[in-house]
Amino acid sequence: MSHAIHDRAFRDLLGSGGVVDDPERISTYVTDQRQLFTGAPLAVLKPATTEQVADIVRLAAHHEIGIVPQGGNTSYCGGATPDASGRQIIVSLERMDKIREVDPLSMSISVDAGAILKNVQDAAASAGLLLPLSLGAEGSCRIGGNIGTNAGGLSVVRYGMTRDLLFGIEAVLSDGTVVSDMRKLRKNNTGYDIKQCFVGSEGTLGIVTGAVLRLAPLPIRRSTAWLKLARGVPLAELLALVRRESAELLTAFEFMTARSIALATDAMTNPPSVCAGAGGAVLAEIASSSRHLDVDELMEAVLAEAIESGWIEDAFLAQSGSQRTAMWQVRETIPEGEKRRNGSVKHDISVPLSSIQRFLELADTQVRSYDTDLELSVYGHVGDGNLHYNVLVPPDADRVEFTKRIESSLSLQLYDTAAALGGTFSAEHGVGRFKKHLLERYGDFGRIAAMRRIKTAFDPADIMNAGATVRPLRNATLA
Ligand code: FAD
Ligand code: MLT
Ligand code: ZN
């Protein structure tokens, strides 16, 4: 089938609004977020309904055309970028962006998979509820992509990952079958939990078209504190103290080194005057939906205890909404700060909380013995044992070349260290195309075998996002 015939078939299915023509617009879909790779899709399609998604999948399956589902294209692992074969189409969910229903008493929200995360948060807030998923890319990433990557972000310490927020799903399988399970149930033990298969599957099992997400009471009181850490602070112990004494109201515990803070403040027009202590800084927040709790008083008592232990040099509380926002802006601007400086080689590691300190010590030694001139930007969701241990690309270096060099040498040493401590090479960003070799290197043989069997069951012909994560079995073997 020629390119022109495909084009006509897609237009017949979707109408002209469903096929992206303009080469300039196409270019925004084909390059990954970190601008490391540009694919060559056969077409970029934008279905408007679940039926249209199913029609596309059936047509693609019939003609053995590969499909790369795409949300906001903010994946850090090249998971939403097609390969260079010209045999894959991008299916962007961006036209399927509706909030279907907010049910305040069931504490759930039902949405199209193309809904932008920020819009879903806002819709929940209008009903006095919280969608407890928050990340720097929330203005552009979409719920289908959050499910595809099992996104984590800034409030996992209290509410869990995307996986923990999913009540129901609607998805199109690789033969066009629609799984329709948009339930609002917290309990539903009726066999395999199919919706969870899609979480973290990075588009390799089917296309998610809708989701029901769990909401929480909207916090109306927040206490946000900037902690200047003492040198050698035992982060896990500090976290344990804050968590215990704040009665599980802790919603964020974000670590930042002085270098990461400086990158962020350099990129801000009106940065607040915050800085790190000798051991870095933590942005901690406790929040309550109750009017009867004085969260500032609670936070002050917790911090007094931490200061007494000698773990923090100093701490101050945001005195207003704008101070709170400014503190958060520093944390959330770090990725942009890295980008402006020529980017970073990202290491999204996690280790058991008890090993965070050990990881930092060992990794630091590895970096210094690799190259004393390397600069780091280290920060992350320490409350979840997750560090972004990023190596800054020198301003005068070729970003892609430098990234390749570090990823084939130092990165492996760092991941080995994380693995030796019982940790992982990808805490929240996924595997995609860029980290497949790491899955092979660190993944347990049996676990990969099980993943390939699941892939084979869902997508034997490897239509769905071929090249990402794992491939199906060939002739029922692991070859
Ligand atoms: P995309 O990038 O479009 O796709 C991601 C994967 O999901 C791809 O494999 C794609 O094929 C698949 N997919 C997309 N839509 C669907 C669908 N409808 N059905 C099936 N599969 C689908 N991540 C975190 O976890 N925590 C963070 O704190 C965080 N911060 C970030 C900050 C910035 C500034 C940026 C740029 C990224 C950040 N990320 C973070 C990474 C990224 O935002 C998340 O992985 C996000 O969940 C991806 O959503 P997306 O809509 O952009 O998905
Ligand atoms: C974050 O937490 O800011 C992101 O996951 C890390 C990044 O953008 O590199
Ligand atoms: Zn993160």
- Tens digit of pLDDT for each residue in 370-413? 999 999 999 999 999 999 999 999 999 999 999 999 999 999 99
For ligand 1, is residue 95 a contact (CB within 6 Å)?
Answer: no
Q: How confident is residue 477, by pLDDT bands cut at 50, 70 and 90?
A: confident
What the chain holds in terms of domains, given with CATH numbers, is 3-92 (3.30.43.10), 99-217 (3.30.465.10), 221-337 (3.30.70.2190), 344-429 (3.30.70.2740), 437-470 (no CATH)
Distance separating alpha carbons of residues 452 and 468, to the nearest angstrom? 12
Q: Where are the beta strands (DSSP E) in 215-368?
A: 216-217, 221-229, 250-256, 281-288, 312-317, 344-345, 348-350
Q: What is the dihedral of CA 129, 170, 208, 467, to 10 degrees?
A: 140
Query: Residue 23 Cα, ligand 3 centroid: separation in angstroms?
Result: 32
User: Would the pLDDT of 22 be above 70?
Assistant: yes
- pLDDT of 106-140, one tens digit each? 999 999 999 999 999 999 999 999 999 999 999 99
| Ligand 1 and 379: CB distance under 6 A | no
Tens-place pLDDT, residues 25-45: 999 999 999 999 999 999 999
Q: Compute the average pLDDT of residues 187-199.
A: 97
Dihedral in degrees, nearest 10, Cα atoms 239, 382, 386, 396? -160
Angstrom distance (rounded) from CA 150 to CA 131 = 15
Average pLDDT estimate for 283-298: 97
- Reply yes or no on whether the pLDDT at 1 is more than 60: no
Which DSSP helix (H) or strand (E) runs through 111? strand 108-112
479 pLDDT exceeds 80? no
How confident is the model at residue 2, as a pLDDT?
65
**Whether pLDDT at 476 is above 80:** no
Give CA separation, 363 vs 231, 347, 359, in Å: 17, 11, 6
Per-residue pLDDT of 335-350, as tens digits, reads 999 999 999 999 999 9
Question: pTM of this prediction?
Answer: 0.97
Cα of 76 vs centre of ligand 1, distance in Å, is 7
Asked whether the predicted pLDDT for residue 171 surpasses 90, the reply is yes
pLDDT in the model for residue 16 = 82
| Count of residues in the chain | 479
CA distance linking residue 411 with residue 413, whole number of Å: 5
Q: Ligand 2 pocket check: which of 334, 345, 347, 382 to mutate, most ligand atoms within 8 Å of Cβ?
A: 334
* pLDDT at residue number 19: 95
Find the ligand nearest to 331 CA.
2
Q: Is the CB of 331 under 6 A from ligand 2?
A: no
Helix (H) or strand (E) holding 446: helix 445-458
Q: What is the DSSP string of 343-385?
A: -EE--EEE--GGGHHHHHHHHHHHHHHH-TT--EEEEE-GGGT
- Both tokens of 210, joined, read 């809708």
In the chain, % of residues over pLDDT 70: 99
> Tokens for 452?
């390939």
Nearest ligand 2 atom to the CA of 388 is 6
Query: To the nearest whole number, what is the mean pLDDT of the chain?
Result: 96
- Atom of ligand 1 at shortest range from CA of 143: 51
Report how far ligand 2's centroid is from the alpha carbon of 12 (Å): 40
